[in-house]
């Protein structure tokens, strides 16, 4: 990677006023393209992450617009907070690119924590160097924390607010992407589906029980592809932004996911279907 013009001029990304992050968008596009060009193997996962990034940014922008107009929101008339949320959304998966290039996987357990890797990458390249100190710290913190199962207690409320936007925006798009890859007639890629067992009738009762209890499921709890669907279902109980559930409903991602759960004869999965659909019926 050394010597790549994108990296050599990373510090030249200039901050603009308000929510204009076009210079950062251009830098990320070059960053993603460089990795695609350098990839000697299957580049589909990198292309997937590139498209995912733009959609997450779009989701985050929609949530920030809503929040910025609400007087009881921490984003109300807070341009620096709004900017930090957009930058964190844009750069949240920066670490996925070196992760895949080095380890050939998106499984953090067998490689590296991609949130922390992304934060280190952004720091080392100086991409946010021209931003105000507060914006830079919030954006980097949100990138580092966005993939945590739950956020640590005691973090500053501003950082929590920015990270919540990124987490919600990220989850909404992941739902749609994975729904596509888990369809019977959909594409197949073990990197995307984390090498989970493809057994159409199998699912873990412990995972289902967590969803029924309204708890968040962890990636480490999954064994089967249906567990991935259940994990995604559990996310509807953890959205922090009012606009997030509305986006889920508008995009139809949850309805698409629950249709792919098998008929199990016990009523457990039927209960989960009904519960998650009710949660997004806003």
- Rg value, the chain, Cα: 19
Give the integer Cα–Cα distance in Å for 235 and 223: 18
Give the mean model confidence (pLDDT) for residues 209-233.
93
Give 249's pLDDT tier (boundaries 50, 70, 90): confident
Residue 175 has pLDDT above 50, yes or no: yes
Phi, psi of 45 (to 5 degrees): -60, -35
What would the pLDDT profile of 10-20 be if each residue is shown by its tens digit?
Answer: 555 776 766 78
Q: What are 224's strand-pairing partners?
A: 197
Q: Report the predicted TM-score, pTM, of the whole model to 2 decimal places.
A: 0.86
- Looking at the chain, the number of H-run helices and the number of E-run strands are 13, 0
187: tokens are 């594409």
Give the integer Cα–Cα distance in Å for 28 and 52: 12
Q: Are 75 and 97 in contact (CB under 8 A)?
A: no
Give the integer Cα–Cα distance in Å for 27 and 23: 6
The backbone region for 206, taken as left when phi is positive above 0, alpha when psi lies in -120 to 50, beta otherwise, is: alpha
Give me the pLDDT at residue 2, please: 45
Residue 192 has pLDDT above 80, yes or no: yes
From the number of C-beta atoms within 10 Å of its C-beta (0-12, 13-18, 19+), residue 156 rates as exposed
Q: Give 225's contacts (C-beta < 8 A, 6+ positions apart).
A: 182, 193, 196, 197, 198, 199, 200
Q: Give 210's contacts (C-beta < 8 A, 6+ positions apart).
A: 216, 217, 221, 234
What would the pLDDT profile of 131-144 be if each residue is shown by its tens digit?
Answer: 999 999 999 999 99
Give the integer Cα–Cα distance in Å for 178 and 229: 8
Residue 44 has pLDDT above 60, yes or no: yes
Give me the pLDDT at residue 255, please: 86
**Residue of 99 and 184 predicted with greater confidence:** 99
Give the mean model confidence (pLDDT) for residues 48-58.
97
> How many angstroms separate the Cα of 76 from the Cα of each of 72, 100, 133, 161, 169?
7, 38, 20, 12, 19
Give the integer Cα–Cα distance in Å for 43 and 22: 25
The backbone region for 160, taken as left when phi is positive above 0, alpha when psi lies in -120 to 50, beta otherwise, is: alpha
């Amino acid at each position: 990677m050394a010597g790549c013009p994108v990296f050599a001029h990373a510090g030249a990304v200039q901050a603009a006023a308000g929510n204009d992050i076009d210079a950062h968008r251009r830098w990320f596009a070059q960053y993603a393209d460089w990795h695609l060009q350098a990839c000697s193997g299957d580049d589909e996962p990198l292309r997937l992450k590139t498209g995912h990034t733009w959609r997450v940014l779009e989701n985050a922008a929609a949530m920030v617009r809503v929040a910025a107009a609400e007087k009881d929101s921490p984003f109300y008339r807070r341009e620096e907070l709004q900017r930090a949320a957009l930058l964190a959304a844009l750069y949240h998966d920066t670490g996925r690119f070196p992760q895949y290039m080095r380890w050939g996987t998106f499984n953090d357990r067998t490689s590296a924590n991609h949130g922390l890797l992304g934060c280190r990458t952004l720091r080392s390249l100086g991409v946010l160097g021209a931003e105000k100190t507060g914006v830079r710290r919030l954006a980097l913190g949100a990138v580092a924390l966005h993939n945590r199962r739950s956020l640590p207690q005691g973090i500053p409320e501003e950082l929590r607010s920015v990270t919540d936007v990124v987490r919600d925006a990220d989850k909404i798009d992941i739902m749609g992407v994975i729904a596509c890859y888990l369809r019977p007639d959909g594409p197949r890629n073990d990197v995307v589906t984390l090498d989970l067992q493809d057994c159409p009738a199998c699912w873990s009762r412990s995972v289902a029980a967590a969803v029924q209890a309204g708890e968040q499921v962890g990636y480490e709890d999954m064994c089967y592809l249906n567990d991935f669907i259940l994990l995604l279902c559990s996310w509807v109980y953890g959205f922090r932004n009012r606009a997030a559930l509305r986006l889920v409903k508008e995009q139809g991602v949850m309805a698409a996911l629950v249709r792919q759960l098998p008929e199990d004869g016990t009523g457990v999965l039927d209960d989960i279907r009904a519960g998650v659909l009710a949660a997004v019926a806003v």
